[in-house]
Structure 1
Amino acid sequence: MIDFWIGAGLLLLAALAFLMLPLLRGRRVQAEEDRTALNVALYEERLGELAAQRAAGTLTLEQFEMGRADAARELLDDTEGGETRRNSDLGRAVPLIAAILVPLIGYGLYSHWGASDKLQLAREFTEQPKTIEEMIARLERAVKAQPESTEAWYFLARTYMSQERPADAAAAYEQLINLAGRQPELLGQWAQALYFAEDRQWSAQMQQLTDEALKGDPNEVTSLGLLGIAAYEGERFEEAIAFWERLVATLPVEDPSREAIQGGIARAREQLGEPASARVKEPAGETAAVDAGLKVDVRLDAALTDDVQPTDTVFVFARAMSGPPMPLAVKRLTVADLPATVSLSDADAMTPQLRLSNFEQVRLLARISRDGNALQGEWKGSSEPLALGHDDTVELIINQPDTP
C-alpha cells in the first residue's frame, strides 16, 4: 500500500502547488504595496518642502508649480499598475484556507468512501497463502471489506469448521443466512456448527433449524446426518437408522462417506440386537443422478482480447436457480486456455452437500479475475437457466464487465 499513498501524496502536492501560487504572488504584491506607500509618503514630504520654500519666498509660483508637477510625475511612474495589483489582494486568504482544507477534506472523504482495504486484499489474493491461518485472516478481511458477499461468508464458515472452530463457524453461517436467505443447505450446516460448538448437546434451536431444512428439502444431507448422530447419542437407535438410511439413499454411489454412514447403521442395528450385516438398498436411478452434468464451451469475446492477459484466471461454475448462492460445481482455467470445453458434474462439487444432481435448474457463469479472486473479477459471462442433464453443449461467452 505504500506505493498507493506515495502516489496520492504526489497528486496532493501538485494540487497544493496550484493553490499556493496565488499566495506566493500575494507576497510579491505586498512588497510592491509597501514600496508604493513609501513613495506616497516621500511625495507628501516633497510637497511640504515646496510649500515651505514658497512661503519663505525662495520659490516663485511658477517654480512651485513645476516642482509639484515633477513630484507627481515621479509618484505616478513608481506606482504605475498598482491599482491592478491591489485588486488581486482581495482573494489572498482563499488559497491559504483551501490549502489547509483540501488535504483534510480529501482524507476524510477517502476514509469514508475509499477502498484501500479492498485494494490491499486484492493484492493479497494474487499470492497463495502459506498457512491456513493466513488464509483465514484473508477471508476475515474479505468479509469485513465486502460484508454483503455471500460467497466470502460461506468460504469463511466452511474454513472455520475445517479448523474445528464451530462457534466462529456458527456466527458466520448466521450472517450468511441473513444475507442469502434461509436455504435448507445453509440451515443444516448452521445447526451442525451449533451442535459442535455447544459440546454435542442437542437444543431446541438445532431441532428447529433441522426441521425447517428438511421441510424445504427432505433430502438435505447435513440435517439427516446430524439428526442421526443426535438420535444415536441419545440411544434412539431406530430413529438414527431411519435418518442415516435416508442419507445413504441420497448420496452418490462413489461418495466416500457412504461407508462410514453404513457402518453407523450397522452399529445401531447391533444395539437393537439385529444382524450387523444388514445392508441399505441402493435407490433406483442413482447412477443416472451421479452421471448428470453439463458440457460448457467457454469463449472470450473478441472485443476483449486487448483487455485481458493470458495468465488471468478463468472460473467456470454453476449456481442453482433456486437455492444457495454458492457455486455447485467449479472448474479453473486461464485465459490462455480459451476457447475451452469443460464438463461440470457432481465430481466438481465444492462440498458433498451442494451437488448439481440436487437441483433441477442451474445457471452457468464464467469469470475472469486477474488477481485469482473467485469472488470478484473484471469480466464475466452467463447463460440462461438450464435444466440439469442438458444434452447439448452450452456456449458461454465472456463479454460483460463484472460489476459488484
Structure 2
Amino acid sequence: MTSFWLAILLLIVIALLIVWRIFATPKNTIGAENLNIRQETNVTLYHEHLSQLESDMAEGSIEQESFVQLKAELDKTLLQDVQSSQTRTIENQERSWLWPLGIALSIVSLSLYTYMTLGAYSKLNSPVAINENDAHSELSPEQMLAFRLQQLQREVKDDPTNSQAWFSLGQAYISVGEFDNSIAAFDRVMKQVGEHAELLGPKAQAMYYKNNQQINADIQAVIDKALALDSLDASTNILLGMDSFSNQDFAKAVQYWEVVLNSDRPGISTQALAGAVEEAKNRLRLSSNMASSGEVSAEVDPNLPHLIIEVSLAKSVQEQLMSSEDKTVFIYAIAAEGPRMPLAAVKIKASDLPITIILDDEKAMTPQMRLSSVDKVHIYAVVSMQGSVGIKSGDYKAEALNVDAMVKSPIPMQISVQVP
C-alpha cells in the first residue's frame, strides 16, 4: 500500500519537474535574449537618428534650436522604449509563474480524481484476498481441498466456539480420509450445540468409512439415534442406501435414497442422487429379470432378432471353480454404440454349463431397450465370483463384439479369460 502511493507521488513529481523546466529555464533565456536584441536595436536607431540630425545641422538644413529640440525628443523616445521593454519583461515573467503553477495544480487534481473515479482504489482495501483468489484459481481439486482444510483449521484455532467451522472441518476431514479427526470434530460440535440428526448422520458416515464400509454395533447405535431424532435425515439415509447397494440389496438402496429425494430438503445434490437411484433400479431389474433359459425353442419368431448363444467353460476355469460353491453366470447383450444397459439377459449357474440359450426381446430389461432396437451388439458371458451384476476383477468372461443383431447361426462362447 505504502509503496503504491510512493510510486504515484514520484510520477507526479516527475511530471511537475518537466512542466516547471519548460516554463522556467527555456522561456527565461529566450526572454532575456529578446530583451537584449530590442535594446541593442533601439540604441542603434538612436545613434543613426542622432548622426542624421548632426549631419543636417552641419549642412545648415536645421538650426541649432531645432537640433536641440529634436535631439531631446530622440532621447525621450529611447528612454521610453527601454522602460516599456523592461515593464513588459517583468509582466511576462510574473505571468510565466502563473502558468506552471496552474498546470501543476491541474495535474495533481486530475490524477487523483481520475484514479478515485476510474481506478481500483476500493480493491486496495483487500489486496490479500484478490491475490489469493488469483493464485487459487489454478489449483487442482486436491490442492483446493488441502487449502480449504488449512483455512478451516485456522478458523477453529482462532475461534474454538465456531460450531459451523467445526462442522465444515469434520466434513473436510472425511474428504481427505482423516476419519478419526472427523469424528472428533463432529463430537466437538455436538458438545457445543447438542445432539442433532444432521450431526449424528455425518459422524456415522465417518465411522462407516473408518470401519472399511461395514456397519457394526457402534455405528448402528449412532444411526438409530439419528433416525429417532429425524427419520428423514439425509446423511443417515444416504449412508444406509450406500451400504445396501454395496451388499447387492438394490431394493433397499432405492428405498433409502428415495426418502432423501422426496424430502425436498435444501443442500442435497438431487441430480447425483437421482442417478444413483436409477443405477440401483437397473441393477435390480437385471438381477430379478434374469432367468435361466433352456434349449432353443421352436416358437421363436424368425423375423425378430434372436441370438443363439452356445456357452461353455474352458477346462482351466472348470478346475478353478470345482473347489468353490456354484457361481452365478450372467449372459447378456448390450448395444455396440449407446448405453450399456443390457438389451436382453439371462442368469444361470455355472453348473448348468454347457448350455445353449436364446437372447431376444422377451428377455429385455425395459420396453425401451430391446434387442430389436439396434443393429449391432456386444455379447458377454460372465462367471461372477461375487454373484453381482457387472464385470469385476477376478471374474471369468467371454465376449463377442460387434455381432449383427439379426445373425441366425449359433454363436459359440467359451468362458476362459479371468478379468485382471
How does the TM-score come out when normalised to structure 1? Answer: 0.34
TM-score by length of 2: 0.33
Greater RCO (CA < 8 Å, at least 6 residues apart): 1
